[in-house]
Amino acid sequence: MAKKSAHVRSIRDVLRIHPEGVDLAKVDPAAAPVGPTTKAEAAKDLEAIGVELDRLQENLYAEGVGGGRRRVLVVLQGMDTSGKGGTISHVAGLMNPQGLRVVSFKKPTRAELSHDFLWRIRRQVPGPGLIGFFDRSHYEDVLVPRVDKLVPPSTWRARYRQINDFEAELAESGVTILKCFLHISPERQKERLVARLRTPEKLWKYNPSDLAVRAKWSLYQQAYADLLVTCSTDVAPWFAVPSDRKWYRNWAVAQLLLRTMRDLAPTYPEPAYDPAVELARLTEADPLR
Amino acid sequence: MAKKSAHVRSIRDVLRIHPEGVDLAKVDPAAAPVGPTTKAEAAKDLEAIGVELDRLQENLYAEGVGGGRRRVLVVLQGMDTSGKGGTISHVAGLMNPQGLRVVSFKKPTRAELSHDFLWRIRRQVPGPGLIGFFDRSHYEDVLVPRVDKLVPPSTWRARYRQINDFEAELAESGVTILKCFLHISPERQKERLVARLRTPEKLWKYNPSDLAVRAKWSLYQQAYADLLVTCSTDVAPWFAVPSDRKWYRNWAVAQLLLRTMRDLAPTYPEPAYDPAVELARLTEADPLR
């Protein structure tokens, strides 16, 4: 028994991108390589994860109130319809909104473009005690400009190092970074785009430019493979999350976050006062007469 | 029948602060002047409110994606233990975190103090399509500095006008503002402070300075009464929410927000493309070969 459990690979081992490289075409987006194998099982497990995450989040928040500097940043990237928004709804939705900082990065504005590409990102890093979710991120800056040749290769290549330096600096200042690439198949993307176009309440999620990006699928996959490998560091690892099935994607991101939070093991801060003394002040000498 | 319903006063009429003044000592923090009268009734109603809020929030978010500029800002103020955090947990928690922007304002940092008092506030105003919640706000700047005499009266008095101008400007740029004063009794505060001091997991919520503030209860009530009356404008009204009972407080804030969202009546944006054309492009001439 003990031997067997020692061989059970953890979700982080299984999904982690390693520096030796990754061939995304060989990573199955419909797989369930670890964890639940049915939607019902995943839903049940997600509920339990939610209870634990909620408790850990309160501890982290309390730590921040007590002067702690630690926080968590979950970066979500993936092709259109991979479910960045859905993941936030289902995973962040398990926790207290007061301790969350959810940011969606759109196409940079002219003002944002006048600064360094990390400028707008830095401004949105979650404060102490918070859990941040980035729906797209600084990784867009080594995707779109590369594929669409908006900047010379030397520029986007230099950004890998700039990103690694930036993330190392964040880690040193107390930010634990968890990066999830939501990996979908082109077939599943097609299904989801068709569903958006056939559902009146989903039309707003579609943009004709989605097809121009889809046309460059393999260029994007190569750009993703490069950034995943180059920027999967010990302090800010990348995980490839099979995302053809929404229930597996939600479960996997929640589970990765849970493992991260357990490692952090936040605890309520020791009070910087004596509760007994304060109780006496309040009950025996209430300052409010 | 019709006559009777015409006489049912809406929650906004009942809780709204009017310019003729308010004597907070005469506003019962334990009242339930409109709406449910039991915790069970409120819980049931809150669930229904949540379903509608969630739908309206998605519409507002979609509107923002479609280029709309409208957003909502809920400002929460109240004495310690009045339940600003609890309200966010229970009301914001009814919605999708992706469309939320929750910000807690602490004691201003040295950097923040080097700017105008509205500087840090402006930076946190929710973007288009979002619903923001402020746990404390710019109203702290007409409370603490006044009561503790940190600035001359002319300075904090001028801030009322500055705040009204600021909020009018926000309103003109598409921000609908809803301001809730969570009104509690000094007796209930005492109970809650004692509970915090007696519960290990709640010790982090207590700060010895809470008693110094409590000692100045009537000065704070006067400062609140003044800001409520002076800054309850048509574009950014103040509501006094009875908050001695948590279930009533949560219900009332959720109901006020629901009324606000219904008035906004956000709708999915008209697509700026022809869905039939896009469907054909995708299914008959899929750009991805």
What pLDDT, in 10s, does the model give residues B39-56?
A: 999 999 999 999 999 999
The CA distance from B7 to the nearest CA of chain A, in Å, is 37
Q: What is the rounded average pLDDT of the residues A44-60?
A: 98
Contact list, B214 vs chain A (CB under 8 Å): 286-288
Q: Which of A134, A197, A270 to mutate to test the interface with B (most CBs of B within 10 A)?
A: A197
- Tell me, yes or no, if B122 comes closer than 8 A to chain A by beta carbon: no
In 3-state terms, what secondary structure has residue A143? Answer: coil
- Tell me, yes or no, if A25 comes closer than 8 A to chain B by beta carbon: no
Q: What is the rounded average pLDDT of the residues A234-259?
A: 98
- Tell me, yes or no, if A44 comes closer than 8 A to chain B by beta carbon: no
Instruction: Mark yes or no for CB contact A214/B92 under 8 Å.
Output: no
Q: Chain centroid to CA A67: how far?
A: 25
Q: Cα–Cα distance between B272 and A168 in angstroms, integer?
A: 42
Residue B99 near residue B129, CB atoms below 8 Å: yes
Residue from the list B97, B201, B203 with its beta carbon closest to the beta carbon of A92: B97
Q: What is the rounded average pLDDT of the residues A65-74?
A: 97
Residue from the list B92, B207, B211 with its beta carbon closest to the beta carbon of A282: B211
- Tell me, yes or no, if B111 comes closer than 8 A to chain A by beta carbon: no
Instruction: Mark yes or no for CB contact B197/A275 under 8 Å.
Output: yes
Nearest to B259 by CA among B180, B167, B174, B173: B180
Average pLDDT, chain A: 95
Q: Cα–Cα distance between A29 and A15 in angstroms, integer?
A: 11
In 3-state terms, what secondary structure has residue B105? Answer: coil
Residue A134 near residue A181, CB atoms below 8 Å: no
Instruction: Mark yes or no for CB contact A102/B97 under 8 Å.
Output: yes
What pLDDT, in 10s, does the model give residues A200-211?
A: 999 999 999 999
Contact list, B105 vs chain A (CB under 8 Å): none
So what's the pLDDT on residue B1? 38
Q: Which of A204, A220, A257 to mutate to test the interface with B (most CBs of B within 10 A)?
A: A204
Q: What is the rounded average pLDDT of the residues A62-71?
A: 97
- Tell me, yes or no, if B50 comes closer than 8 A to chain A by beta carbon: no
- Tokens linked to B256: 């006020």
So what's the pLDDT on residue A236? 97
So what's the pLDDT on residue B7? 52
Q: Which residues contact A185 (CB under 8 A, 6 or more apart)?
A: A29, A30, A244
- Tell me, yes or no, if B285 comes closer than 8 A to chain A by beta carbon: no
- Tell me, yes or no, if B286 comes closer than 8 A to chain A by beta carbon: yes
- Tell me, yes or no, if B194 comes closer than 8 A to chain A by beta carbon: yes
What pLDDT, in 10s, does the model give residues A21-41?
A: 888 988 999 999 999 999 999
- Tell me, yes or no, if A269 comes closer than 8 A to chain B by beta carbon: yes
Q: What is the pLDDT along chain B (289 residues), one digit of tens a residue?
A: 344 444 567 999 999 998 888 889 889 999 999 999 999 999 999 999 999 999 999 999 999 999 999 999 999 999 999 999 999 999 999 999 999 999 999 999 999 999 999 999 999 999 999 999 999 999 999 999 999 999 999 999 999 999 999 999 999 999 999 999 999 999 999 999 999 999 999 999 999 999 999 999 999 999 999 999 999 999 999 999 999 999 999 999 999 999 999 999 999 999 999 999 999 999 998 988 7
Strand partners, B132: B73, B101
Question: In the predicted model, is pLDDT for residue A144 greater than 60?
Answer: yes
Instruction: Mark yes or no for CB contact B287/A215 under 8 Å.
Output: yes
So what's the pLDDT on residue A8? 63
Q: Which of A63, A123, A125, A203 to mutate to test the interface with B (most CBs of B within 10 A)?
A: A203
Instruction: Mark yes or no for CB contact A278/B214 under 8 Å.
Output: no
Residue from the list A93, A211, A271 with its beta carbon closest to the beta carbon of B97: A93
Query: With a CB-CB cutoff of 8 Å, which residues 130-159 of chain B face chain A?
Result: 133, 135
Band of pLDDT at residue A2, cut at 50, 70 and 90: very low
So what's the pLDDT on residue A223? 98
Contact list, A281 vs chain B (CB under 8 Å): 211
Beta-strand relationship, A238-242 and A175-183:
parallel
Residue from the list A85, A214, A268 with its beta carbon closest to the beta carbon of B98: A85
For B202, left (φ over 0), alpha (ψ -120 to 50), or beta?
alpha
Q: Cα–Cα distance between B37 and B31 in angstroms, integer?
A: 9
Residue from the list A96, A203, A286 with its beta carbon closest to the beta carbon of B89: A96
Residue B200 C-beta-side C-alpha neighbours within 13 Å:
3
The CA distance from A159 to the nearest CA of chain B, in Å, is 27
- Tell me, yes or no, if A267 comes closer than 8 A to chain B by beta carbon: no
Nearest to A261 by CA among A30, A57, A36: A57
For B214, left (φ over 0), alpha (ψ -120 to 50), or beta?
alpha
So what's the pLDDT on residue B6? 47
Instruction: Mark yes or no for CB contact A97/B98 under 8 Å.
Output: no
Residue from the list B62, B93, B287 with its beta carbon closest to the beta carbon of A96: B93
Q: What is the rounded average pLDDT of the residues A271-285?
A: 95
CA atoms A39, A41, A47, A51: torsion sign? negative
Residue B107: other Cβ atoms inside 10 A: 10
- Tell me, yes or no, if B67 comes closer than 8 A to chain A by beta carbon: no
Q: Which residues contact A2 (CB under 8 A, 6 or more apart)?
A: none
